[in-house]
Amino acid sequence: MNAARSVAIAVFKESVRDRIFYNLVLFAVLLVGASILMGQLTAGQDVKIIKDLGLTATSVFGLFISIFVGINLVSKEVERRSVYPLFAKPIRRSEFIIGKYAGLLLTLMVNVVVMTVALYTVLFFLSRGVSPNVQRAWDAPPIDPALLKAIGLIYVDLALVTAVAVLFSTYSSPMLSAVFTFGLYVVGQFNEDLRRLDQIVGGPAAGIVGKACYYLLPDFARFDIKLAVVHGIPVSAGYMLWTTAYAAAYVAALLLGACVIFSRRDFK
């Protein structure tokens, strides 16, 4: 795994040099700008909106990084033939895949952590001067630790999207990989509807196809607990654990598939 670690560090360094983290500036501008505008609204509403906006932006910005960096992780190296000298070194192709994936997870981790700090900072300044009595009337406290649950599942969601992107990246062009990954992500948002496809469309065939897709495709909607957290609805530790394990199983299967495909691939 030493080789995988070297690849992961290289991916992270490349992300830094490719100015991936510039999106953090945009994130900060978005949050600060929104908080100034929200100042006109009723106290409490602005905090909710900022929380919602912060969590959504963390998810969307991360999603862009996951898809657009993820789809290039492997295919770019194959296309540019930089894998040729690399695979003459003592590194297994599976280690390369795991390293690439881990490198992008590290990039996403840094991104999400900085965004979290920025969100809490803005929330701190927004809530300053509001008396504790008023704050108690709100759905959730402004500096709410529960936000970390939502952020945690956003990260798990991004880890799963990245694994999908890496899988497609092992055998498809970046353009097609982007389409497939984004398509799967969108379908995964409506996974619950697939289970009830026979009730929506009608007919037993639709039911079978819907159920097959439901069980096969990852349910991306289950990672989205933003609304619950913003409105102070509790999210159990059991749900967090189960959802994380669910994602971990998919990630493992996707990476295994990516490793198998990539290990058998000819570089013409």
Partner 1 sequence: MTPAIRTRELTKDFPVGFWRPRPYRALDRLSIEVAPGDVFGFLGPNGAGKTTTLKLLMQLVFPTSGDAEILGRPVGDVGIRRRIGYLPENPYFYDHLTAEELLGYYARLFRMAPVERRQRVTAVLDRLGIGAERRLQLRKFSKGMLQRVGLAQALLNEPEVIVLDEPMSGLDPLGRRDVRALILELRDQGRTVFFSSHILSDAEALCSQVAILAKGRLAAAGRLSDLQEFAVHGWELVVSGVPPHVLDRVRSRVRSVTAITGDRYAIDLPADARPEQWLAELAAAGATLVALNPIRETLEDLFVRRVSEMGDGGRPATATRVPRRGPGPGSAA
The residues of the shown chain that bind partner 1, judged by CB under 8 A, are 2-3, 6, 10, 14, 17-18, 80-92, 264, 266-268
Inter-CA distances, 139 with 97, 135, 153, 233, Å? 44, 9, 21, 8
Closest approach of partner 1 to the CB of residue 88, in Å: 4
Nearer to partner 1, 22 or 267 (CB): 267
Closest approach of partner 1 to the CB of residue 11, in Å: 11
Nearer to partner 1, 94 or 244 (CB): 94
Closest approach of partner 1 to the CB of residue 13, in Å: 8
Return the biggest CA–CA distance within the chain. 69
Nearest-10 crossing angle of helices 2-17, 93-127: 50
Nearer to partner 1, 1 or 148 (CB): 1
Gap between the Cα atoms of 13 and 190, Å rounded: 36
Gap between the Cα atoms of 49 and 66, Å rounded: 25
Gap between the Cα atoms of 186 and 188, Å rounded: 5
Residue 224 token pair = 């989205």
Closest to 25 in 3D by CA, of 114, 105, 107: 114
Closest approach of partner 1 to the CB of residue 63, in Å: 24
Closest approach of partner 1 to the CB of residue 17, in Å: 5
Inter-CA distances, 69 with 100, 163, 169, 252, Å? 10, 12, 10, 20
Closest to 11 in 3D by CA, of 223, 217, 166, 153: 166
Nearer to partner 1, 13 or 196 (CB): 13
Nearer to partner 1, 79 or 192 (CB): 79
Nearer to partner 1, 80 or 128 (CB): 80
Closest approach of partner 1 to the CB of residue 8, in Å: 11
Contact between residue 156 and residue 223 where contact means Cβ atoms under 8 Å apart: yes
Nearer to partner 1, 85 or 238 (CB): 85
